[in-house]
Amino acid sequence: MRDKLKSPALGLPVLGTTLAAVMTLLIAGCNKPQGAAGAQPPSTTAGIEIGDSMLATSVESALLAHPDVRSLDIEIETRKGEVQLSGFVDDQTQIDRAIAVTREVPGVRRIENKMSLGARR
């Protein structure tokens, strides 16, 4: 009797069936029900917000790594791959350089320049 309980042949089919049932439930639980006809999807999702956060971090890292713009006080905002740069800089060359560096960051689809010439704070 003990030999039958220790036999792996009996446990494998039960384990396989249980695993298949659990996977089926997990996959079925991931499906979202379709919304009502004409319903608008949300304007942002968690995935978009995480992507925007990562993009902002990448742009900030690129600007900090560049010797011509690392000391500038530039604020970065992102939304769906669009980057807005704002802040005060000394001259147009600094604006142009910051835009050029930002343009090279993967994932940047569009850049909106809100930087202004004037005294930095």
> Do residues 87 and 73 make contact, with C-beta atoms less than 8 angstroms apart?
yes
pLDDT tens per residue across span 79-106 = 989 999 999 998 999 999 999 999 999 9
Q: Model-level pTM?
A: 0.58
> Do residues 112 and 85 make contact, with C-beta atoms less than 8 angstroms apart?
yes
What is the distance of C-alpha 84 from the center of its chain?
16
Query: Phi and psi for 32 in degrees, rounded to 5?
Result: -95, 140
Q: Does an H or E element contain 6, and which?
A: helix 2-6
What is the C-alpha separation between 94 and 100, in angstroms, rounded?
A: 10
What is the C-alpha separation between 72 and 60, in angstroms, rounded?
A: 11
pLDDT band at 9 (very low <50, low <70, confident <90, very high): low
Query: Phi and psi for 72 in degrees, rounded to 5?
Result: -80, 150
Give me the pLDDT at residue 45, please.
Answer: 58
pLDDT tens per residue across span 19-76 = 555 565 555 555 555 554 555 554 555 555 567 889 999 999 999 999 988 888 899 9
